[in-house]
Structure 1
Amino acid sequence: MSAQQTDGPWRNANLRWLLAGSALSLTGDQFTLIALPWLVLGLTGDPLALGVVVALMSVPRAIFILPGGALVDRHSPRAVMMLTKYASAVLLGTLAALTWTGHVTLAAVYLLALAIGLAQAFAMPSGTAMLPRAVPGPLLPAANGLMMGLRQLSMLAGPLLAALLLAVAPAGSAGGTDMRTLGLAFAIDCVTFLLSAWTLARVRPLPGARRDSASEPVLRAVGTGLAMVWRDVPLRTCFLYWSLVALFVGGAMQVALPLLASDTLGSAPAYGFLMAAHGGGMLLGMAAATLTPRLKVVTFGAMLLAGDAVAGLLLMLLGGIDATWQGAGLLLALGALAGFLQVAIFTWIQRRVPPHMLGRAMSIFLFIFMGLAPLSAAATGWVLQHITLGQLFTCSGGALIVCAAFAWLWTPMRTIALTPEAPAKS
């Protein structure tokens, strides 16, 4: 066994390049996530337009992530990942140039959002498939932990940096922020994609890492995964429950939080601080889950439903804030709760699903939130034309509590244990 296989994760060259590229790209993404809603609101002032942009970025990911994952398995994840990085750099560079020069239009934003979402549909499965082909098996648990923690750190640092950029910007027409500052935010994301492509080029696949030429046809493989989830009652119950949560809550928050910063707090930097608080909370929640892996006070299902009920109450409170620090405190708590539950959910799926089906099961899980949340986001934009933002937070939080109560009373979800009694059958 080589030194690369026995040394610690930080001494593995491939992992260092992947971590560096991931840190650059994820941090840059936060600039776009902060600047894009502000650009749309500055161009239109219309929450419906913001909902449409969110949907245009999310729908292609939802449609293509399942076949995209199957295709990546047949080809080189590194090559697919490299292409998506260059494509994203071109798209963001175009958006940066249009915004900087003041020639950006809502139609151009729609088109570029759609193309960015399509690139992400292939970037996500290629990214998850890359790590096992670049890092030896004994290092994978530590490598996955580092990647997950790095993602949450980027969700903390990126919004803070973006908020700082917007805070020092001169006043302008885009929701009070200068257009050239928003263009600079998109340009920063473009550069991070180019730098992460450079780091990816330094990654060398492990000897023997190859695609599975004997795999079944793409659509049949997707169908097999769906059938496996449907036959397993606990999996089916949880996936249907998460579908309801994504439909009633997930997309609504993508539209509501930028509007909260714009209409209630009246500040572009405030949005960055809110997102940073949520990211920091998720990091704390994941750390807490790591420190208490053997906590068995309640079953997995009961813990999940109770956590969602608490999250619903916090969302209802969020609609009544009038200061940034209040929103940051509530989003810190929401993030901590989400981070803790996310670790439990991923652990439960990994233990429940046979290894040869895990990739498809995880892609279905991601599909739920990427497919239903954008529909919810688009609907939220329409709903906000008829109700206030505070009422939206109240309705969303109440819907989450109702979903959790329904699942507790009328489904076997509360009895689902973290460790299954028997392996799931495929």
Structure 2
Amino acid sequence: MDKTPRNLWSGGFRQLLAAQSISAIGDRLSFVVLPFLILGHGGDAVAVALVLGARAVGFSASVLAGGVVADRIGPRITLVLSDLLRAVVQGLVVALFISSDSFVAALAALMTVYGVAEGVAIPSSRALLPRVVPDAALERANGYMSAAYTSGHLVGPLLAGIFVALDLSVLAIGIDAASFVVSGVLIWTTRPRSLPEESKGTVLSQFVEGFKALLARRWLLWMIAAGVVLHLTTLPAIYALGPVWAETNLGGGAGWGILVSAFGVGGVLGGLVATRLRPQRPAIWYFVGLIVVAAQPINLVSGAPFWLVAGLQSVAGFALAVLGVMEDLSAQRGVPGALLARVGSFAVFASTVATPVGYALVGGVSAWAGVAPTMYVMGAICVIIVAFGVLLPSVRKFAPQPSGAALQPTPTVVDVEKSPT
């Protein structure tokens, strides 16, 4: 009898999944209502950009340090502290909008702190899962986490629309603050497996150790590089130019909303299907899924019937969920557990830095060549580069075994291309 489901749900995964679901809803709820809240209190587009940019700056400044912190004091404690700090920040945001008319500078400062806490949390969340889930159940656990995250990103904006329509945006921020408290309590109740430290050096030496571990894993370097290309081309083309194209060619705001929802529904289904997958070479699955995701700009401007465009967007959402699970699974089984947060922080940092560069690139090219040609070119570049990744020997040979070996610390960093784990 397959005992994986019982093993999966009997530990701290239940609490972690609930925390992830609640946080995802709260995050998207506050992210959507905050710009409307700023505009409703006399702010303008510059104020919105300043506040959201401050959050991004805080995130970028802390994500690398977050990996070291998580590996030094443990991902559970790091996540709890991050949740509580963000709860306090959102509570202060509520108080600020209620009591003050001069709020932009103070709000930007608070969002910088929020971004710092968020940046610390991302590597920790990736490192905590394999400590609360049996190794044999990682595929299933990652799939459920992906589905929960995507579901939250569907529900959150829907709730945000209701709160904005009822002029209750401040209440929405308060709900987000409460969601962080609940999430922190749930994560605190997990009982992750403890791992002996791979080294007990200084912060700098541990940072260097994590970087060396990354360099020793060429398959992971290629995965990160492909993610950077995605953030330089396809994603900014979708987010910046997609709504512009939809305004006159895909049914306007209503049509764009349908396409975004179709993508989200595909993501939920993809996460659930991923719980049943048992890939021997998850890195190859990652690149194959990324090819589908990379082609989205081409799909949007292809001139195909709207129902077909929506269907392909759903397939892209499905592929994104599956490749996300494959990415996490590759790291969880290919990187020692005591190094996982540090190594993961480099991937997040690389994508974070690439994103604003991608927006600038896409904006400049579209101003010169037009929206449709830019989306074709950006999509094609990303598809070609990502497809090349499937052919790389280090990617094709990487086949981690579900033996739990990745959670065992090693005295030195080894080249995993020469090892089955």
Shorter-chain TM-score bucket reads 0.7 to 0.9
Provide the C-alpha distance between the structure 2 equivalents of 1:125 and 1:132, rounded to a whole number of angstroms: 13
Alignment: residue pair count: 398
Residue aligning to 1:122: 120
CA displacement at 1:114 relative to structure 2 = 1.6
Q: Is the CA contact (8 Å cut-off) linking 2:140 and 2:275 kept in structure 1?
A: no
In 2, the alpha carbon distance for the partners of 1:308 and 1:184 equals 35
Q: Which 10-residue stretch deviates more, 70-79 or 348-357?
A: 348-357
Alignment of 1:24-103 (within 5 A): 24-39=22-37, 46=45, 52-99=50-97, 103=101
Q: 1:10 aligns to what?
A: 9
How many Å apart are 1:89 and its aligned residue?
Answer: 1.3
Is residue 338 of structure 1 aligned with residue 320 of structure 2?
Answer: yes
Q: 1:401 Cα deviation (Å)?
A: 1.4
Higher mean alpha-carbon deviation, 77-86 vs 225-234, is at: 225-234
Q: 2:160 aligns with which of 142, 159, 162?
A: 162
Mapped to 1, the partners of 2:74 and 2:335 lie a distance apart of 25
The aligned amino acid for 2:57 is V
Equivalent residue, structure 1, for 2:383: 404
Say if 2:359 is the partner of 1:373: no
For 2:139 and 2:225, how far apart are their aligned partners in 1?
29
- The partner residue of 1:242 within 227, 252, 259 is 227
Aligned 1:208-219 pairs, distance under 5 A? 209=194, 212=197, 214-219=199-204
Judge conservation of contact 2:123–2:344 (CA < 8 Å) in 1.
no
- Matches of 1:253 and 1:92, distance apart in 2: 29
Q: Among the aligned pairs, what percent are the same residue?
A: 26
| Structure 1 stretches of at least 4 aligned residues deviating more than 6 Å after TM superposition | 257-267, 269-273, 325-328
Deviations 1:388-424 (CA, angstroms, capped at 9, x unpaired): 9x9457524521312332565xx66534555427933
Runs of 5+ unmatched residues, structure 1:
171-179
- Which letter maps to 1:339? A
1:383-398 aligned within 5 A: 387=367, 391-392=370-371, 395-398=374-377
Deviations 1:217-238 (A, max 9, x none): 3333333333444455444344
Which residue number corresponds to residue 110 of structure 1?
A: 108
Cα separation, partners in 2 of 1:381 and 1:359, compared to 1, 3 Å: same
Is the 1:96–1:187 contact (alpha carbons within 8 Å) kept by the matching residues of 2?
A: yes
Structure 1 residue 56 displacement after superposition: 2.8
Matches of 2:142 and 2:293, distance apart in 1: 26
**Structure 2 stretches lacking a partner, 5+ long:** 400-414
Q: Which residue of 1 aligns with 2:179?
A: 192
Q: Is the 8 A contact 2:238 2:297 kept in 1?
A: no
Partner residue of 2:344 out of 362, 370, 378: 362
Equivalent residue for 2:412? none
Choose from 384, 398, 404 the match for 1:420.
398
* 1:232-271 Cα distance to aligned partner (Å, 9 max, x none): 544434433322221234456555678889999886x988
Q: Who is 1:174 aligned against?
A: none
TM-score (norm 1): 0.73
Give distance in 2, aligned partners of 1:63 and 1:304. Answer: 30
Structure 1 residues 220 and 277: alpha-carbon distance in aligned structure 2, compared to 1, 3 A threshold: farther
- The more displaced of 26-35 and 340-349 is 340-349
Letter aligned with residue 178 of structure 2: V
Distance in 2, matches of 1:271 and 1:400, equals 18
Aligned-partner Cα distance in 2 for 1:199–1:294? 31
The aligned amino acid for 2:398 is P
Question: How many angstroms does 1:189 deviate by?
Answer: 0.8
> Residues 163 and 271 of structure 1 are in contact (CA less than 8 Å); yes or no, is this contact kept in structure 2?
no
